[in-house]
Structure 1
Amino acid sequence: MEQMYACGNCGAPVAYGQTSCSVCGVPIDWGTTQSPPSSQYDYQQQAWEQQPSSTNPQQEYTQQAESYQQPQYSQTTEQPNPGRQRISLHTIRKSLKKIPLNIALPLIVIFILLTLGGIMVATIANEEGQPSQNSKPTIASTAAQPVITTFTSNPASIISEQTSELAWEVTGATSVSIDQGVGSVDLSGKKTVAPTTTTTYTLTAVNDKGSVTSATTITINAMGAPTISKFTITPNVIDAGQPAVLQWDITGATSMSIDQNIGNIASSGTQTVYPSTSTTYKLTATNSAGSSNASAAITVNASSVPVISSFTAGPSAISAGESSTLQWNVTGASSVSIDQGVGTVAASGTQLVSPTTTTTYTLTATNSVGSATASATVALTAPTPPVIISFTANPSVITTGQSTTFQWNITGATSLSIDNDIGIVSDTRIPIITPSETKTYTITATNSAGSIQASTTITVNAAGAPTISSFTASPSVITSGSSNLQWDVTGATSVSINQNIGTVSTSETRVVTPTETTIYTITATNSFGQSTASVTITKADITAGYPVISSFIANPGTISAGGSSQLSWQIQGDVTSLSIDQGIGTPPAYGAAVTVFPTQKTTYTLTATNSVGSNSYSATVNVQ
């Protein structure tokens, strides 16, 4: 009698050592067992091989089936379905004898195909080579499609411009991808997305057995006005000078700001403030749907009298008809006022006043605790003599028969006069003269405080003698360093300058470094005679207080006929007046540029004056 065992796939009997089931064809692994194990599942060989001889087939099948018992399956293997009875080959053979061949053959083919499409057989063995009461041949399942464990979006509902996070976990896939432009991804991961409309994202996992998908939808809700969930000030009652903290929290806003000079803010944060008086702060949050507002108020108690940080008058001394500016700064006051007809004013500010006599102004600052005062005096000074800013002749060098015109810039004068029989002059009465010889002219400016004078020399050269168009020193006052002598001469056969400079060309610039106040004289000579001109370079003490002209330039220095050039300058020190010759006069503002349109080569001289004296600087524009 041969020992028989049941096929783990179809239940058909198999002999020990058989490599595959003769019914379903599934391979059988017997492990390392070297000899047939003893078994309770003995079949009579002849009962399996012989045709049933009994006239009662059901009885014969029952007798044989009673000698065969199903093995007990181990816990590591799928348990058989208790509602499904295994059918042995013997049973099939007995049943098929009762069915015509043309019907039985297709049934057998269907049975084999169904069996081969399901499960593969593994092994039946234990360590000793004996079948266990809790074992059966191990069944190896066929490879499966990928498994998408999770695919979610968080949050699943957002408003426009917000983001959501996709998260997924996949096993058994060779490739994973997400649509909507995300593309290929790892088996597990996260991805931040920002859809602008409600969007469904589909994840597809693929392997050689097929593909599976999973979807998640992110809903876009309509945007509303921003939400200000918090806007507070802590504490909301303080004493003057103490701090308080504004705190806020905003969602859904594209721009946020707080008034009271705080300005733009982040969507959440804090700001320390030091209000001097009770104040209400307003927060405004805006997006495309509209704006939201919130307010936070704080009460400031006065713990002491107001503090007047400053109260000044500038200038503190003026002449009749001039003005002074009062300026102040006060903290901790509920009201501020200034006497002398000024009245109530802000806690800080300025006020222009024009007193006709020396006047003291008193500022009073008040709060619930008390008052504080401060004073500033504007003194009215006696009239001062006129100031002669400049007095020149243009041109200052002429030949016999030519004419020249006086130019001046004078302030504070009630009358003007020029000697040498010219007499009274004014801004509307400017004489044109034709002197026959070199002569010095003096202008006198007068007011109730006195008189002041200034002079200029007109050089008259004989007819045919050389013409010295210009001879300047820039600057004319130095404390150290050097000055530039510049000249322009025509019609001369020789030109020279004293002070050991010697012979020079007709048009040149020469740097000189005098150690004391020095007069430089240029002499131009031809067959008709000589022409001369002089300039003085004043060597002043650095503490003397002369105006300092750092630069005076013409840009461009050379122009075409009909073109223009800009004169610009820089001056240091106290300057009471400023002027440029060649008919320009007082510039519109200190430091501003002046545009000139010379028709021929012209030298412009800038003169800066204060109470100590004057300084000058020249610049030449060449016309091609």
Structure 2
Amino acid sequence: MKKILLVSAVCLLSIVSLFSGCVNVPMDELVQFSIFSFDVEPGIIDQGESANLSWMVIAASSVSIDNGIGSVALTGHRMIAPTQTTTYLLTASNATLTKNATVTITVRSESNESHETTEISIASFEVTPSIINQGESANLSWVVIGATSVRIDNGIGSVGLSGHRIIMPTVTTTYTLTALNAETSKEANVQIYVHVEQPTPPQQTPNIACTTDSTTNKIQVAVADVNIKWNDIVITNTTGSSNCHWAIYDGGGVTNQTTDVMPTSDVTAGDYIFIWYPPGGNVKITMRYVPTNALLGTWTINV
């Protein structure tokens, strides 16, 4: 699993480097500066044994590891054989920032094996931040004491006793850490909440049915869907004359509103549009629903 992650990261960095060279954009503007992983396997060794220290850093200009290792590449690994329990510090820098990560390897000796405890302690297992938007990443970190093996689910796999990993789940996810030794095991869980934008449902064009009465010069609402506002409707006439006017009587046809102005009230059955046109004749009225620009209907009335 770790080899696959290392190869993937090297490929990603190669592609980004090529892209940066083509368009003359600094790499640290294309890739987020981060310490993707810093692990040691196994996390516990006997004196005289060795372990594999590995790391993966993104968008840094320099990387170094203490305890005699010194300057290293962005990704790599090193066989180490410390004679005592040792914490390694990785320091990564770019032009503006410095980041650190640590990992500890426990070295057992004859003197401490006789006093070794089988108790496992998961000192910490956390994710930062714990809430992200879909497409963003977070840092999963852990510190375990007294285990001989540590695993994290959801594709991470075997890890050292301490370390961290950049994660980018697409949905809300619970990660489980399982720590084992020869006699016992312990688990810890941590959840990261992923906010997913829900698509906005398309707006539906409402239904309005009207009747006309040339005797009273009214276009009256017979049926209307709920939650339709008069000010979401545009009224036009085909006379082309400035002498043609209308007024809305809302509240079931009770309240007379300002001439040629749409009220903010709901459209309800019984509301009507009163038309006056001094020259007289046929007036064709069109109503259009603004949010969807859909035609609600056309009515002709002889005034």
> Between Structure 1 and Structure 2, whose CA radius of gyration is higher?
1
Please tell me the TM-score bracket, short chain as reference.
Answer: 0.3 to 0.5
Which of the two has greater helix per residue? 2
Q: TM-score, normalized by length of structure 1? A: 0.18
Higher relative contact order (CA 8 A, sep 6+): 2
With the length of structure 2 as denominator, give the TM-score of the two structures. 0.35
